[in-house]
């Protein structure tokens, strides 16, 4: 869970097309949404819905003139979110990711799984391996050690690290296979962002022009009211109730990754975002917030940038259309790209 990106009630809550243009994913769909206008229409009222997915509460807020239509759209969007969670959870025994990790292969992979796996491979190439879905053995090693009140021994880290290699995921239409016994994947760095993309598309298909969606990552269309954008508060990685920046939702999607979400040591040195090159957590950053044209890209880049560190992250972001970021170092300093849509209040 990444709950330090907060819906800011005081503000009214409120790249790349699927990576295809940069990394040659080819036929992957375009989830970037156009600005759908200003919510100055007479008769619009706020409607909300929520459900549990990805280990958190997913919330959707829409402005619409008809309550029945609004709730139907919200439920359709929530079904999209639940579907992705059901396919890509590492915990649910019926998920295709769970089956893949348990048996080393999964037959008849769902189109959504194939999409996200193809995206993951391209993002791994783009980030020179900083993003890697096969880090799950490291998670297992650290989680098992934590249950004993310890950190894994160097040889345990080395053994887990030997199983990390994004190039060893064999993705075919009929079957996805892990080429080395003991490998396992996690799509936690992509699935919530992808769910944002699908859910917003479902809302728009049903005539919704103004909405804010929170799956743990965020997306919005339209606006909250006449002249007032949807907005988010970006939380401090060290003070749970403190907001360090407010972000105007400008049609792009927002994702935050941080060293606080799951920790393996009280000093935040060891946490759930693993550097595939070292087998441990990257040392410099406390959190990264990415704004990008799609949720899946924002989600993946926020993880990758945590691993890459400030200089490499800023250098890559400068090459990607409509991608901006804000990072917070472990000593509390904040850096932002020039285009980061911070809301001045």
- The string of pLDDT tens digits covering residues 76-107 is 999 999 999 999 999 999 999 999 999 999 99
For residue 21, pLDDT beyond 80: no
Token pair, residue 182, equals 């003991």
What confidence tens digit (pLDDT) does each residue in 274-297 have?
A: 999 999 888 889 999 999 999 999
In a domain, 55, yes or no: no
Half-sphere exposure in the Cβ direction for 5 (13 Å, CA): 30
In a domain, 7, yes or no: no
User: Which pLDDT score is estimated for 343?
Assistant: 85
Cβ within 8 Å of residue 106, ≥6 positions away:
96, 99, 100, 113, 175, 176
Using DSSP bridges, classify how beta strands 334-336 and 324-329 pair: parallel, antiparallel or unpaired: antiparallel
Range of the domain at 131: 96-178
Q: How far apart are CA 188 and CA 326, in angstroms?
A: 21
In a domain, 155, yes or no: yes
Half-sphere exposure in the Cβ direction for 151 (13 Å, CA): 17
Q: How far apart are CA 181 and CA 93, in angstroms?
A: 19
Cβ within 8 Å of residue 148, ≥6 positions away:
none
Half-sphere exposure in the Cβ direction for 259 (13 Å, CA): 28
For residue 235, pLDDT beyond 50: yes
In a domain, 156, yes or no: yes
**Mean pLDDT estimate for the chain:** 88
User: Which pLDDT score is estimated for 262?
Assistant: 82
Token pair, residue 322, equals 């409509």
In a domain, 281, yes or no: no
In a domain, 154, yes or no: yes
In a domain, 174, yes or no: yes
User: Which pLDDT score is estimated for 36?
Assistant: 54
In a domain, 10, yes or no: no
Q: In which residue are the tokens 């087998």 written? A: 279
Higher pLDDT, 323 or 262: 323
Number of domains in the chain: 1
Whichever domain contains 130, its CATH number is 1.10.3980.10
Contact indicator for 145, 93 with CB cutoff of 8 Å: no
């Amino acid at each position: 869970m990444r709950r330090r990106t907060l819906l800011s009630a005081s503000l009214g809550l409120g790249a790349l097309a699927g990576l295809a243009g940069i990394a040659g994913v080819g036929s992957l769909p375009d989830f970037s949404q156009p600005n759908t206008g200003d919510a100055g229409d007479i008769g619009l009222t706020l409607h909300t819905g929520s459900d549990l997915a990805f280990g958190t509460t997913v919330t959707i807020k829409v402005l619409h003139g008809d309550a029945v239509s609004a709730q139907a759209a919200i439920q359709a969007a929530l079904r999209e979110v639940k579907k992705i969670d059901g396919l890509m959870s590492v915990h649910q025994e019926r998920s295709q990711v769970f089956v893949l990790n348990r048996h080393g292969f999964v037959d008849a992979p769902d189109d959504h799984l194939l999409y996200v796996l193809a995206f993951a491979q391209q993002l791994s190439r783009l980030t020179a391996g900083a993003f890697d879905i096969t880090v799950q053995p490291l998670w297992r090693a650290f989680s098992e050690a934590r249950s004993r009140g310890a950190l894994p021994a160097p040889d345990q880290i080395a053994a887990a690290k030997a199983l990390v290699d994004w190039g060893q995921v064999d993705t075919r239409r009929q079957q996805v296979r892990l080429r080395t016994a003991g490998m396992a994947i996690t799509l936690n760095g992509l699935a919530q962002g992808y769910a944002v993309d699908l859910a917003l598309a479902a809302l728009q298909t049903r005539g919704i022009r103004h909405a804010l969606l929170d799956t743990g990552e965020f997306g919005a269309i339209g606006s909250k009211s006449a002249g007032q954008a949807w907005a988010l508060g970006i939380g401090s990685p060290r003070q749970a109730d403190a907001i360090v920046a407010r972000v105007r939702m400008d049609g792009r999607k927002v994702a935050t990754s941080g060293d606080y979400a799951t920790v393996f040591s009280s000093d935040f040195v060891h946490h759930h975002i693993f550097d595939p090159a070292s087998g441990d957590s990257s040392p410099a950053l406390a959190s990264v917030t990415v704004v990008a044209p799609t949720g899946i890209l924002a989600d993946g880049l926020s993880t990758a940038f945590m691993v890459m560190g400030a200089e490499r992250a800023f250098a890559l972001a400068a090459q990607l259309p409509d991608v901006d970021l804000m990072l917070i170092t472990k000593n509390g300093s904040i850096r932002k790209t020039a285009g980061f849509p911070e809301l001045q209040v």
